[in-house]
Structures are given as structure tokens and as C-alpha cells.
Chains A and B, each alone.
Chain A
Amino acid sequence: MSQDFDITQVYLKFLEDDQDMTMPIAAIESLVTMLRIKQPSTSSELINLVKSNTDKLKSSISNAISLSAGCDLFMRFVLRNINLYSDWESCRRDLVENGELFVQRAKESRSKAAQFGLPFIKDDDIILVHSFSRVVYQMLLMAKKEKLIRFRVIVTESRPSEKGYHMASLLRTAGIPVEVIVDNAVGYVIHKVDKIIVGAEGVAESGGIINHIGSYQIGCLAKTNNKPFYVVTESHKFVRLFPLAPDDLPNQISPVLSATNSSINAILESESDNPKSLLSIQQIDFTPHEFITALITDLGVLTPSAVSEELIKIWYD
């Protein structure tokens, strides 16, 4: 039974089953599932299994940044726990159990981060949101439902994925006044915006964020207009990466896009004489730490430089 286990399938299934699940958690869950099924008999086998499956997962998924954050975190967790037990059986059992606990905690971290972010939203605010982010959505929802704060939201269209429309419709059903603008119009609205809130795919060691394309430009505009630029994210998205420029990001050069996105497929499939075929599409970019006011995480509100401290704490204690 262990032969036909495909980590990528499991991973994609997790993501499909639960729309609320983020990539790092799905990765950890699928690794825990893998351990449960494969039943490794020695610790080195276990480590090798985790390693090979992580590599497989990373290589098969195109946008692997937050995914690799989850995998690395789990690997670290395995390595740290493996020495604690004398008896192998209990070790393996505990590992699977703790893995589940780990997933549980990671899931809770979203609402925790949202909780920390609530004081940042005030009455009469105009908040600019870029693309769709579950944690940003949850935070705005909590501000509206629990704190009864009255505020307005401007959502960018966020091409090419156009996830902004998804965000806008979710917010509208929650009763929050919302308006969608094209990405090019950020400069037009920025002067009346009070604050910018974005999510993150991953947080680099410098405290810069890897996020949906367009975040960098918004960050630059926010800085020149002296508007606070907040990033809401869970701490398991901290990655041991330090890109110097957006093109340092792994898997960035090849614009392999997920097959589920119809609008991009339409572009890609259009005839070659169509000028749109010249379009090159990027999905994510990197916003350096100097453009970020603060990171709102489940560990509290951090300055960008505190991220490396947290990362070092995770990896070297």
C-alpha cells in the first residue's frame, strides 16, 4: 500500500477539500498523512521519507514558497523531536499525533493573527486591500461582526488571477462597503486611503514579503504617500529565504500557472498572432522590508526585522 502513495495528490486533495486551508498547512497535513501510511521503521528511514517527499512536493507544485515554509517547519519539528524518545514505536506514534496537533495549532494561528490586527482598524477608515487573502478577510470580518467597526474597503482587481473580485464579493456578503479598482488605479486612490492591508505567501528572513504580484508597487506608493502598509500573516509562512530582488525567487522565471485559472488559460491559448501572446505573466513578487510598516502575526505585531529573530529562534534553539 505504501507504493501507491502520491504526496502531490494528497496535497492537492487537501487543498480542494478545504477551501480555507493554506498551502503550508496542507503540506504539513499531507506529510503527517504520509507518515501514518508509510510506517517507517527506523529514524533514518523516516527522515529520508520526509526529505524525499518534501522535494517531490516542492518540485511538482509551481508556486512552492509558502509550501516549502510548511515543509521546512515540519522537517525541523521532526528532527527536533526524534531525539527525545528512547523507544522508536512511541516516537513514531507521538510524531504523528504531534503532527496533527501541529496542524491544529497552525490552523488556529489565522484567527490569532486576525485578533492581533483588530486594533488597527478604526471607524471611518478606508482600507486598501490587495488580492484575496484568507487572513485579511477574517480580520476584516471580525472587525465588522465582533467590533462593529464601520469602515470601507477598496480592493484591487489583482490581475492576472483576478482574485480581487472574489475578495470583494465575500466582503459584500459580510455587509462591508467595498469597491473594486483596477490595479493601475492604486495611485489614483492612494491619497484618500488610510491604510493598506495585504496578506502574504511567505515572509522572507529580512521581513520582506512574497505576495501576489502588485504588492511591491503598492508598497512603493504607500511609502511615498506615507500610508501605513500592514501585512497580516501566520508565522508558519516565515521562510528561510532572502531574495534580493523579485527575480531571485525560486520558480519565478517560468510563468507556470495553475490550470484552474481560466482567465490566464484563455490568454495562453490565444493564437500566436494575437498581441496578447507577447504578454509575460508573473504571479508573485517580493516587497522588501523597508516598505512594510508592521507584520501582524499570531506571535504579535512584529517589525520586519523581528522576523529574522523569530526564524533564528525556530531554527537554533
Chain B
Amino acid sequence: MSDKVNTAATEATKAPKESKAGESKSQEPTEGGALSNKELKELKKREKAAKRAAQKEAQGISPEQQQKLAEQKKEKNQERQMATNTNLRKKLDSSLIKDDNKKKIPAMFSHLETREQRNASSPSISHIVHPAILSLSLKISSYKIVGSIPRLTSMLEVFKTIIKDYKTPSNTSLQRHLTGHLSHQIEYLKSARPLSVSMGNAIRWLKQEISHIPLDLKELEAKTLLCEKIDDFIKEKIELSDRVIIENASKHITNGSTILTFGHSQVLEQLFKYCVTEQNKMFNLVIVDSRPLFEGKKLLRNLVDTHYMPGSEEVGSETTSEVSSISSRGPKPKPITQDFIKVHYVLINSLSSTILEDVDCVFLGAHAMLSNGRLYSRVGTGLIAMMCHNRNIPVLTCCESVKFSDKVQLDSVTNNELADSEDLLQNLNGKEAPKKKAVALEQFMKQFEHNEPQAPVKPTQKGKSQPKKITVGEEERDSKHESPLKDWKNIPNLNILNIMYDLTPPEYIKKVITELGALPPSSVPVILREYRST
């Protein structure tokens, strides 16, 4: 009962208080004298309530009406409280989502942070977040930017703009304040997706660089110095490293060999292009892909978009835009997939059959390399490595040293990233990558639906800004073709798990190619030691 009701009630019952006290006292001995204080209080309360009810009935209000009144008062009270609350939305989000999602993750993975929890816990600091970070986190959370290295480079680019726009407050120094300022931005970035290992490594490096800036340096100079350092970092740790890795790895792609790869990795994409454009190799490529992100399609598209001039001896790597200008004169450029790379595109389910029969070599991308030699990569990698190891196909992985982590992990359960379960339900026809859904909007819609059940929500365009997949499904499919998972949130004991990464044990990996050389996975700690020392 809320206070309001109580005070009103006490006023009403003030008069007969004395008599009531006397009554209760007289009752005491009849009950056997064994009543404790607590029981006594309970008894008094009951009496009070009974009296109040009696009084109200005397005034002409029925007990049902009384209850209604009380509820109304309660609601009013709550509303007021919420209005005064500063982070009203945050509370609403977290409370509402948490309880209807907690059950929706298998108990084994319940310790992992869901996207909703991440969003809900996103700090209320959006007003000091740089707009570049806002747009970056949007891109990352909608998988527009996906993959460890693209995320890292775009993050560093954004950091550069942040540093350029940064002004040190009057009573502090850049060395002290900028780190904290960046931390806020990173905090916000984390709400999009957890930071990758490479991003963590880069952030650690950047913070160290900031603290190493000499104190007597002017702000502008310090800022340009930092930007230069970031540029160098990108160049040294990513671009040049990739070149070295590619040169090393290209030895394993020979004319006529068959290479298998999984999903999309930036360095592998460059490797395949390099083998064609620089070395004129012809080989077969099996791209294994999987739901829900279909990153293999991205690799395929990028390969198809790479062109060469058929007439000339040397193959140039022109992008489509350049090509269009050239095409007016001379022979027409052809995509490299036409003559050089024969591509098979398969889904991971068909891996077991004849696909593996004449594969010579498997190249896998990496998200991180853990210090016990385990490869932490897109979910499905472990399966492929295991199958290929079983068939004695060498499994190689290309991994820049910035992705090396000194963590040790024994299974992929303790630490992983949960993606949105809806992604697995979305586009079952698999035409495009899943869209980001706006949590706040969804909350709003949910409330809306509560008030007006079955309010028809018109989808503007397929999947666009339309967080509710269910409504899209309703429009698109006949009721008989409806997905059985449509109402999964309301089916008890039905969980949907969409996990991002898995671990590949070191015994399945033959070789890790880094810019420091190729090594067996057992030598990962060596790289870590080298990396830390530099």
C-alpha cells in the first residue's frame, strides 16, 4: 500500500483508536498468551484494515471500488516517481528487457552480456560523446563494419578526429585529461559491440603514447604528434604487416591448387587478390559461408569486383571505379574470378561431402590468438579446422601480431560475444545481412502494443528501420508459411543462441603466419613477448 492511501486511512480511523487498543489487549489472553510481538502486530493490522473497510462501506464505497482506488493511486505515484527520475529511459529499458530476456539464453551462456544488456548499461554520457563515435558505433552494431581489422582501423581513424577536435580544459593537462576523455568515448563504443582484442591492444598502446607526450609540448603540436603516431601505427601494425604476411602466405598458393577459406578476413582477401594481380596464379577457391552474417558473400563480391586487363601481360588491380574510365579505350577489363580464381561457394553444412576431397590448404582468418595457442575466431572456424585436420589438410591462419592476446581460454563458453538472437530469425531467405535494431524504439513499440494490441505497424521498406521482424514476416509470408520461431519469445523453454566466436585448439592448426614469421601455435607466447617488448 502506498503512503497516500495509508495517511488517508489513518485520518479516517483516528477517532476509534483508543477503543481498538483496548480491544486488542483484551483479546490477548484468550488466544493463549503465546503470541509473539510480530503476531501481535499482524493482528493489529488486520483489525485496522477491517475497521477501515467497514468505515468506507458505511460511506458507500464497495470493497471492489476501494481496491480500484488504491491501484489508481499507486499508478499515479509511480508515474510521478518516474518523471522525476533522470535516467528514466535507462531504468525502463533495463528493467523491461532484462526479465523477458534472461530466460531466453541457455543457462550455460547466461553469464554473457546480451546486446540489450549492453545497450541498457550504456552510460548516460551520450552528450559528451563525439558524433564520429556515434556514427561508428552505429556502423559497428549494424555489422556495416565487421571484422577485427576493419573495426580497428575505423576506430583509430575516429580517434584521430576526436583528438583533432579535442580541447584541453583550462585547469588540466592534455596528458591527464585526454585519456579520460577517450575512455568515455570507448565506453560508448563498447555498447555497440564488445571491443575486439586488437582494439584493446591498440587502445592500450594509444593511452601509453598519450602519457608519454612531453609536458612542455603545446597542445596543437601534441595533437598532431598523436595523429601521426596513430597513422604510423596503422601503417606499421596493419598495412605493412599484412604485406609481409601476404608475401609469406602466398607461397602456399600454387598454380592449380585448391584453397579453402571461411567467411571473410581482410588479410586473406588481400592475399587472394595479390596471388592473382601480382603473381598471376590460377587456383581454385572454396569459400565456406554460414548464417547469419554471410561474410563469405562479402569476400566473393570483393573478388568479383577486382578486375584485370585481359590483353596486357601484367595484371593490374583496378577497382571498378578506375576501370570504368579505362574501359572506353582498349580491351574490357574482366573480373579476376573469370580466369584466375575458380570460386566455389558453399555453406558450412555441405562441408562434409566431397568439397574437402581435393583441398590442398585451408586459410583461416583470426579474431585473436590466445597465448595457449588457441585461435579465437568467427564461430564455425573450429569445425572447419577440425574437419580439415581429420583429413590431413594443413590448416593455416594469418594473424597480425596486434591480434595476439595474453589471455588463456580453454573453451568458448567462458568468454564470448552474444549477438542478437533475432539475427538468426531474420531474413531466412538470406538476402542481406541483419539490420541493427533500435532498442529504445522497440521498447516504445512494446508499450504502444500494450495499449493498443494488434496495432498494425506498416513496414516502410523491407527490414529498413523496422526493428520488428515479426511484422515484416507477417506481411511477407502467408500465415501457413509462418516461421515456427515467430513467437519464440513467448514460448517457454525455447532459447535461441547466436554466438559470435569459437575456439580452435592448437593441435588442429599447422601454422600461424604473422609478420614476425610463420610459427606453430605453440610459439604464440614468443610473439607476445616480442610484441610487449617493442
Question: Chain A interface (Cβ within 8 Å of chain B)?
Answer: 205-207, 240, 242, 244-245, 289, 304-305, 308-309, 311-312, 315-316
Contact = CB atoms under 8 A, between A and B. Distances in A.
B430 interface: no
B519 A242 contact: yes
B530 A308 contact: no
Contact of A289 (B396, B516, B518, B520): B520
Interface stretch (B89-97, B135-143, B276-284, B521-529): B521-529
A240 B523 contact: no
Q: Which 7 A-B pairs have the closest CB atoms?
A: A305-B522, A308-B523, A308-B519, A242-B518, A309-B526, A244-B394, A206-B520
8 contacts: A205-B519, A206-B519, A206-B520, A244-B361, A244-B394, A244-B396, A308-B520, A309-B526
Given A244-B252, A244-B361, A305-B523, A205 B394 contact: no
A312 B522 contact: no
Contacts of B527: 312
Interface of B: 252, 361, 394, 396, 510-511, 516-520, 522-523, 526-527, 530
A205 B517 contact: yes
Contact of A312 (B394, B511, B520, B526): B526
Contact of A308 (B361, B394, B396, B517): B517
A245 B522 CA distance: 18
Given A206-B511, A244-B361, A312-B530, A305 B520 contact: yes
Given A205-B517, A308-B526, A312-B527, A245 B511 contact: no
A305 to B, nearest CB: 4
B510 A311 contact: no
Contacts of A312: 516-517, 519, 523, 526-527, 530
A309 B522 CA distance: 10
Nearest to B520: A206
B517 A244 contact: no
Contacts of B516: 312, 315-316
Given A312-B523, A312-B530, 12 more contacts: A205-B517, A206-B520, A240-B517, A242-B511, A245-B394, A289-B520, A304-B522, A305-B522, A308-B517, A308-B526, A312-B527, A315-B517
Contacts of A316: 516, 530
B219 to A, nearest CB: 36
Contacts of B526: 308-309, 312
Nearest to B533: A317
A205 B530 contact: no
A207 B520 CA distance: 9
B518 A205 contact: yes
Contacts of B517: 205, 240, 242, 308, 311-312, 315
A219 to B, nearest CB: 16
A315 B526 CA distance: 13
Contacts of B396: 244
A240 B511 CA distance: 13
Nearest to B534: A316
A187 to B, nearest CB: 22
A316 B527 CA distance: 10
Contacts of A305: 520, 522-523
A245 B361 CA distance: 11
Contacts of A315: 516-517
A304 B519 CA distance: 11
Contacts of A308: 517, 519-520, 523, 526
A310 to B, nearest CB: 9
A125 B372 CA distance: 36
